[in-house]
Structure 1
């Protein structure tokens, strides 16, 4: 069975205590914690601002998992000038940031760190950009060895489809690298839920959904995106990871509060998952 989760981009003003309490109250199995790194002031519930053991205890105490640590790290920064750029530019900043996130995840008992590949810089060819992304990922993945933390790379930018991000995995060929698949990004690029789950197979470790109606964020299930079909597809292929719901209030503060939006999300996901597997009884919010 899937694990309904929500991202803390829905509640940037909440403390970690409030996040843990709401997750339990609203029936979520897990949460995704957004981080902007040490000394960040972007979000009150950034786990980098709290002692590791306290973060663990807060979520262990309510029986809610920390599904993933979501970062903004991307590995596409070009080296300029090409010949001496390594000496004069800080091309390893993304590697350091990803390593810091892995250390944070290990400290708080979080199994996954989300990163991006991302775009093709101007005048850069795809093979060169892909090689740069893969090379930097390899250094990050070496750091993750023996930490209990794995890395998930999310579709987006120049790699929006499931097949695109699978190409990064194929090139990297590392057991600690999987995929965080964002449904809205994939659908916009032409993916269908069944095609995406088939393309990624067992390398899909985290799933991400949100809903839109006429281009605007809306309540899950009330929009135009095939969210129900995606959850059903995940269920049919036996996916047992977290499905993270995003309500982008961090980026769009005019949106309704998390208290108004989150209460029905977990039960909706459970109902969709149960409908996708004949013989299962729909599970309500726990």
Structure 2
């Protein structure tokens, strides 16, 4: 498996410094948070996109995903959401990223309605992504926190090549066992987001292995299933400024993951 980390842990950090962190600590790739407050976002011009892509390419670091904030199941008309998905897809294609992360964002909508809305929008935006060798991935998050919930949407979207991001925290908070999450998503799994927290009541990010999330179990399940994709550490310091700075934790986190992978082999 390959290892990545999310720039959510180092908000606003210039691209060259992100690449330097990846190379210095042995990470194969990076999830780029695509928000206007970040150096990389859909408003970036062509020349700047080319510079970002070349900076990563010349360092041998892959841009795993563009992590957008489109809400596939959100209320309102479809077209603004589909347009946002297309903008994120175009950014990912220009950067050479293989995935676009998508949130459900169904809010208080009845589950069946939220499922149908998200499936419809993914079905419309998916072909645009496929033409650009990019895949839309719906994350286990908010209104669809379990693998079963995300699988419902993907199944309803039909033959479009959309997939899933397994954020290990949200299915756990939703009471879904890791084996059940994997069973629900295995055939559509793009990559896995790892993180750690103190408890269900305190989701302040902790160093990997220092909290309660079943990271070792997830890695073992993935290894035993023969899955050989990406593990990405999402350290949510953007929302928890009191958390320890990410750069000091990147090396120990990589070592921890390598031990888990070795134990699971």
TM-score (norm 2): 0.92
Q: Which residue of 2 aligns with 1:108?
A: 95
Residues 123-153 of structure 1, C-alpha deviations (whole Å, 9 max, x = no match): x432222212211111111221320101100
| Pair 1:6-2:10 in alignment | no
Q: Give the deviation of 1:171 after TM superposition.
A: 0.4
1:222 to 1:77, Cα distance in 2 relative to 1, 3 A: closer
Q: Give the deviation of 1:229 after TM superposition.
A: 1.2
Return the alpha-carbon distance in structure 2 between the equivalents of residues 228 and 256 of structure 1.
22
Q: Which residue of 2 aligns with 1:85?
A: none
Runs of at least 5 residues in structure 1 that lack an aligned partner in the other structure: 80-89, 278-286
Contact 2:75 2:106 in 1 (8 A): no
1:188-203 matches, within 5 Å, as 188-203=173-188
Residues 45-82 of structure 1, C-alpha deviations (whole Å, 9 max, x = no match): 55854622211211111211111110111023334xxx
Q: Which residue of 2 aligns with 1:57?
A: 54
Moved over 3 A (4+): 44-50
Q: Which residue of 1 aligns with 2:198?
A: 213
1:270-281 matches, within 5 Å, as 270-277=258-265
* Helix, strand or coil at the partner of 1:129: helix
TM-score (norm 1): 0.85
Larger RCO: 1 or 2 (CA < 8 Å, sep 6+) = 1
Q: Give the deviation of 1:107 after TM superposition.
A: 0.3
1:155-194 matches, within 5 Å, as 155-194=140-179
Return the alpha-carbon distance in structure 2 between the equivalents of residues 271 and 228 of structure 1.
10
Q: Give the deviation of 1:274 after TM superposition.
A: 1.6
Q: Which residue of 1 aligns with 2:135?
A: 150
Return the alpha-carbon distance in structure 2 between the equivalents of residues 108 and 115 of structure 1.
17
Runs of at least 5 residues in structure 2 that lack an aligned partner in the other structure: none
